[in-house]
Amino acid sequence: MKVFETVIETQNYTKSHSVGFVPTMGALHEGHISLIRRAKEENEISMASIFVNPTQFNNPEDLARYPRTLEADLERLEKAGCDAVFVPSVREMYPAPAVLKMDFGRLEQILEGAFRPGHFNGVGLVVSKLFHMVRPQRAYFGQKDIQQCAVINRLVNDLSFGIELVFCETVREADGLAMSSRNVRLSPEKRRVAPFIYQSLLKGKALLQSGVSPAEVESTLAAAYAEHPDFRLEYYEVVAFSDLERIPAYDPAVKTVLVVAAHLDGVRLIDNLIL
């Protein structure tokens, strides 16, 4: 497996290959590795990047606490058969402070956008830069961050990147918890209660499919979180898959998503369930 730290090295390698690209911030888990496996299946070479992007953190403490496990990540990627990894420094990614501001419309104002101002501007910046630097034919993302997928889809379409986006299903632990780099920050005790998040999504699904209105589902599950001593809920909403806006009524024929964000043990966790 080749490891590159500069854009020049990376482009010299990728210019003559069909590249399947998996951008990451490291602290890799099986969800990331599943994306690498698919990239290997569908392209001449598979390539990951590892870069903890400072511009997408609106909380400096969250940036400082983000796990950095480069040596273990590289070992895991090599074991998975990844062909190459781009590991740039902050100076390589941002030779000068970024001043460009991206506006993703309503996606900036709802759900993650409402609770993490500026986050998607940072995501848009770094993904744009990585796409220009790596020049892949396909890029792979997990649907756990479903709003991020929507933002990147808007980015690629509006700026005509000419890259095929491949969004893959959320990979879960045996107890249902969505795999996330943040999970390692949970204490063993709190890790045992973390599957409540996925259970709440399954409960919402069952209620919707039994005829309960989206508004009632939201209030019922918000009450369940309020009664749970370990969680602090930010949102639990029933939204349309097409634009992530809340829906007045559930139609089984129309793709719908249950989305949730909650704090547990000082860790902010998100998840969703697509119906």
Question: What is the set of active-site residues?
Answer: 32
Q: Cβ(88)–Cβ(5) under 8 Å?
A: yes
Q: 């390539």: which residue's tokens? A: 47
What's residue 179's pLDDT?
A: 97
Instruction: Identify the domain containing residue 95 by its residue range.
Output: 2-168
Do 102 and 214 lie in a common domain?
no
CATH code for the domain in which residue 133 is found: 3.40.50.620
Do 159 and 192 lie in a common domain?
no
Number of structural domains in the chain: 2
CATH code for the domain in which residue 232 is found: 3.30.1300.10
**Does residue 121 sit within a domain?**
yes
Q: Average the pLDDT over each of 30-44, 49-63, 83-97, 103-117 and give the range with the smallest value.
A: 49-63
Do 127 and 228 lie in a common domain?
no
**Does residue 86 sit within a domain?**
yes
Do 154 and 89 lie in a common domain?
yes
Instruction: Give me the mean pLDDT over the 94-122 stretch.
Output: 94
Query: Which residues on neighbouring strands pair with residue 239, listed in sequence order?
Result: 246, 257
Of 105, 103, 97, 149, residue with least CA distance to 127: 149
Q: At what angle do helices 196-209 and 214-227 cross, to 10 degrees?
A: 150
What's residue 16's pLDDT?
A: 84
**Does residue 146 sit within a domain?**
yes
What's residue 61's pLDDT?
A: 84
Residues with Cβ within 8 Å of 92's Cβ and at least 6 positions away in sequence, in order, are: 5, 6, 7
Do 100 and 47 lie in a common domain?
yes
Cα 197 from Cα 203, distance rounded (Å): 10
Indicate the pTM of the whole model.
Answer: 0.95
Query: 203 pLDDT exceeds 90?
Result: yes
